[in-house]
Structure 1
Amino acid sequence: MHKMFVYRIYPTKKQATLLQATLDECRWLYNHLLEQRKKVYEQTGKGLSLYQQINTLPVLKQQRPSLASVHSQVLQNVAVRLDLAFKAFFRRVKAGEKPGYPRFKGRNRYDSFTYPQSGFRLDEQGKLYASGIGHIKIVLHRPLRGKIQTLTIRRSSTGKWYAAFSVECEPERLPENPHQVGIDVGLHTFATLSDGTAIAAPRFFRQEERALAKVQRKHSRLAEGTPERRQHRQVIARVHERIAFRRKNFTHQLSRQIVNASGFIAVEDLHVNRMVHHHCLAKSISDAAWSQFFDQLFYKAEEAGRTFVKVNPAYTSQTCSVCGHRQKMPLDQRLFECPCCHAQLDRDLNAARNIKALGLQSVGLPLEAPASRRGE
């Protein structure tokens, strides 16, 4: 399987200048190749292929000598990125979606470059060597396992640099676990498990709203187009970065705990992009990061050899998990009370048990006896 290992790197001032210069050259090349494709299509009605554009690189190096300072395969990867953008554009056109024609990249819109095969290595001294840059300090906070395929160096919006290694490795299977769990996500609690465990919603964005509003007010008072305003953008970016880091750390730890403790995991197949159109709940839904949580659950379960299924969330909150009776449940009603079997339980717990039952049914596994008792 393929995995990505991301590490923080600490370039010197000279190396940071070289990294930024490499980004600038790659961005220039991307924009030049895009303009080339547009002109050729307007003149001939036909587009250029990937290899036709790669073959123009030697001529471009003569016209722009600074391109020679960048590793040749890094330049070729720029052409590959543009080709992938056009393939995605034509795919969307055929599917009848909004096309989204590839755009020219501004200075802050091109933030990474890739060594596809060679031009880099990890030294025994614990440093990363990148062609054209030199030996860069890297913090290997966890062991890098597997055969390294590519290296991508990325600059964050706050000016931090990261090295992302794509590796091919054997999956780390976990011992079989008979425990089965259904997960209902929500805004009142982040997640409720079918075994009764409730994980409180951390609401990281809500916690940082005052700090974010403070720096945004200061930013709005700075005159537009001034160096002070441009520099202050990083202050706002750091607040957003801190929120994203905390949220990602939370979902990583929770998804790892669930995968380690359960052999079967069932979740709702939610369309979050549609749900955020609700103007009253959009901020809270985005803050919850359900899609990020489900994605991490999926790939960790796949590597560990766990069974992971998504089920249709329709009526999971309105159906009794004991007898199957269905009734309307307004969002403000937190207790599910069944008039048929008189079961009483939290609405999220009831939904989690229904999700688990639907998941087991979808893969042909036998349903367990209900965990709740009459009058519970």
Structure 2
Amino acid sequence: MSLKLHDDDARLEIGRASGKWYACFSVEYEPNPAPQKETTVGVDVGLTSFATLSNGEKIENPRFFRTDEKILAKAQRRLSKAEKGTPERKKARLIVAHVHERIANRRLNFAHQTSRQRVNRFGTIVFEDLNIRNMQKNHSLAKSIADVAWNQFVTITTSKAEDAGSHVILANPRNTSQMCSRCGMIVAKKCSDRVHSCPHCGLELDRDQNAAINILRLGLQSLG
């Protein structure tokens, strides 16, 4: 791999609210992608589990924001009580920024590690093409959806895929949770129903795995 670094590509990023500064370097390189792998997988992202794969594997939801929510609320209360223009308020604001930054960094690191594991194993990875903004209009779920950051995970997986000999497909999410992955019949479910039980063909399996199998099938069909 050859690298070319230009002097004018090095710059300082604007300081963050936490007071940190970062030096950014832009590089050009010739990619050397790995050979294409034949393994395939469908991925159903969720809230109970971060993701369920079509082979039945589950990725635990780390819930980074929920874990630090009490710490953040305490820091925000201190900030609101501090008098404006005082050193105490400046210190309190910095603490709040540090907590937010820690949550974001942990979430980003999780997305990088999890996506790397997937692209190293699978040659074709199929996700649902979700409209996250519309989903967040459900105010009871908006905070949890923001915490899992599905778009970030899909974007990072896509960026890693080519060099790893993989590629990512986005499939239409319509009825992937309701359709039986064996016979194709629609089996209506509520969000609380965690098992897919088909009255037509008798298939019973985890609801999210059933969806992941449908996602994989749709993705492969889009390839012809």
Q: Paired residue for 1:292?
A: 152
CA contact under 8 A between 2:158 and 2:167: conserved in structure 1?
Answer: no
What is the correspondence of 1:46-195 to structure 2 with a 5 Å cutoff?
Answer: 146-149=3-6, 150-154=9-13, 155-195=15-55
The 2-side partners of 1:237 and 1:191 are apart by 29
Question: Which residue identity is paired with 1:312?
Answer: N
Q: Paired residue for 1:316?
A: 176
Q: Report the CA distance between 1:329 and its aligned residue.
A: 1.1
CA contact under 8 A between 2:37 and 2:165: conserved in structure 1?
Answer: no
The 2-side partners of 1:170 and 1:334 are apart by 46
The 2-side partners of 1:252 and 1:342 are apart by 39
Q: Report the CA distance between 1:264 and its aligned residue.
A: 0.6
Q: Paired residue for 1:306?
A: 166
Q: Paired residue for 1:273?
A: 133
The 1-side partners of 2:60 and 2:107 are apart by 13
Question: Which residue identity is paired with 1:178?
Answer: E
Q: Paired residue for 2:104?
A: 244
Q: Paired residue for 1:120?
A: none
Residue 119 of structure 2 aligns to a residue whose secondary structure is: helix
Residue 166 of structure 1 aligns to a residue whose secondary structure is: strand
- Larger-gyration structure (1/2): 1
- The answer to whether residue 82 in structure 2 is matched with residue 222 in structure 1 is yes
Q: Paired residue for 1:359?
A: 219
Question: Which residue identity is paired with 2:160?
Answer: K
CA contact under 8 A between 2:50 and 2:148: conserved in structure 1?
Answer: yes
- The answer to whether residue 71 in structure 2 is matched with residue 211 in structure 1 is yes
Question: Which residue identity is paired with 1:153?
Answer: L
Q: Report the CA distance between 1:145 and its aligned residue.
A: 6.2
The 2-side partners of 1:217 and 1:266 are apart by 43
CA contact under 8 A between 1:269 and 1:313: conserved in structure 2?
Answer: yes
Q: Paired residue for 2:123?
A: 263
Residue 280 of structure 1 aligns to a residue whose secondary structure is: helix
Q: Pick from 36, 47, 59: which aligns with 1:199?
A: 59
Number of equivalenced pairs: 221
Question: Which residue identity is paired with 1:330?
Answer: K
Higher relative contact order (CA 8 A, sep 6+): 2
Question: Which residue identity is paired with 1:190?
Answer: F
Question: Which residue identity is paired with 1:307?
Answer: H
CA contact under 8 A between 1:173 and 1:303: conserved in structure 2?
Answer: yes
What's the CA shift string for 1:49-106, capped at 9, x where partnerless? xxxxxxxxxxxxxxxxxxxxxxxxxxxxxxxxxxxxxxxxxxxxxxxxxxxxxxxxxx
TM-score (ref. length: structure 2): 0.94
CA contact under 8 A between 1:219 and 1:233: conserved in structure 2?
Answer: yes
Q: Any runs of at least 4 consecutive aligned residues in structure 1 with deviations exceeding 6 A, and if so which?
A: none
Q: Report the CA distance between 1:302 and its aligned residue.
A: 2.8
The share of aligned pairs that are identical, in percent, is 51
CA contact under 8 A between 2:2 and 2:30: conserved in structure 1?
Answer: no
What's the CA shift string for 1:214-236, capped at 9, x where partnerless? 11111111112323212321100
CA contact under 8 A between 1:172 and 1:304: conserved in structure 2?
Answer: no
Unpaired segments ≥5 residues, structure 1: 1-143, 365-376
Unpaired segments ≥5 residues, structure 2: none
What's the CA shift string for 1:197-246, capped at 9, x where partnerless? 10010000000011111111111111123232123211000000110111
Q: Report the CA distance between 1:172 and its aligned residue.
A: 3.5
TM-score (ref. length: structure 1): 0.57
Question: Which residue identity is paired with 2:3?
Answer: G
What's the CA shift string for 1:269-291, capped at 9, x where partnerless? 01112211111000000000101
Q: Paired residue for 1:340?
A: 200
The 2-side partners of 1:213 and 1:329 are apart by 36
- What's the C-alpha RMSD, in Å, of the aligned pairs? 1.4
Question: Which residue identity is paired with 1:152?
Answer: R
Q: Report the CA distance between 1:161 and its aligned residue.
A: 1.8
CA contact under 8 A between 1:171 and 1:304: conserved in structure 2?
Answer: no
